[in-house]
């Protein structure tokens, strides 16, 4: 997949496969109004990052950027689950949360049930760096709750790179 459509991001890791207890926790965080579940999920992700330090090839992050959700979805849910996970990760790992650096500039339909091609098309141009935010030469760690095809991370990384970020 990556050779056909090279991602705009350098590397990707996850805490685990989206099944069993992890799926249950993320589902409850996202759809059952359980934002407190973001704390242990962020801590688990921080421990995974430490265990996989070589995967990051010595990258030092200038900030952690949660994948933004559209304001309409934020009003419905009351919070951004990726931001909550990122906040917990930052507290655990001693990183800086870059809240509001990226914005979702258009509402997209849910990615659930879409093919890889449909996911990519659905998200094209959906993200942008907020005006006035300095990303020049900086390296960011993107955080999302679930990664399936990498389309969301690709589009977020693309927006950051277009605004001058290094990685």
Tens digits of residue pLDDT in 34-75: 999 999 999 999 998 888 776 676 778 999 999 999 888 889
Q: What is the dihedral of CA 132, 133, 135, 139, to 10 degrees?
A: 180
pLDDT at 150 over 80: yes
In the chain, what percentage of residues exceed pLDDT 90? 59
What pLDDT, on the 0 to 100 scale, is given for residue 135? 94
Distance CA 29, CA 23 (A): 10
pLDDT band at 11 (very low <50, low <70, confident <90, very high): confident
Q: Can you tell me the distance from the alpha carbon of 81 to that of 118, in angstroms, rounded to the nearest whole number?
A: 23
- With a cut of 80, say whether residue 25 has pLDDT above it: yes
Distance, in Å, from the CA atom of 48 to the CA atom of 126, rounded to the nearest integer, reads 29
pLDDT, tens digit, 9 for 90 and up, residues 88-112:
999 999 999 999 999 999 888 778 8
The predicted model gives 2-7 an average pLDDT of 77
Among the listed residues 68, 83, 60, the one whose alpha carbon sits nearest the alpha carbon of residue 139: 60
* C-alpha Rg value of the chain to the nearest Å: 15
Task: Tell me what pLDDT residue 55 has.
Answer: 67
Would you place residue 161 in the very low, low, confident or very high pLDDT band (cuts 50, 70, 90)?
A: very high
Residue pLDDT, tens place only, 106-137 = 888 778 888 878 887 888 889 999 998 999 99
């Amino acid at each position: 997949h990556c050779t056909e459509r090279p991602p705009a991001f350098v590397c990707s890791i996850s805490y685990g496969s989206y099944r069993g207890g992890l799926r249950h926790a993320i589902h409850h965080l996202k759809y059952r109004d359980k934002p407190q579940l973001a704390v242990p999920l962020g801590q688990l992700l921080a421990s995974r990052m430490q265990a996989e330090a070589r995967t990051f090839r010595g990258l030092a992050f200038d900030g952690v950027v949660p994948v933004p959700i559209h304001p309409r979805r934020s009003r419905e849910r009351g919070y951004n689950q990726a931001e909550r996970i990122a906040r917990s990760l930052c507290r655990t790992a001693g990183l800086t949360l870059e809240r509001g650096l990226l914005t979702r500039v258009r509402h997209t339909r849910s990615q659930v049930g879409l093919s890889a091609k449909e996911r990519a098309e659905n998200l094209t141009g959906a993200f942008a760096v907020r005006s006035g935010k300095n990303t020049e030469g900086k390296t960011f760690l993107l955080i999302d709750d679930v990664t399936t095809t990498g389309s969301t991370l690709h589009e977020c990384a693309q927006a950051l790179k277009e605004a001058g970020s290094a990685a």
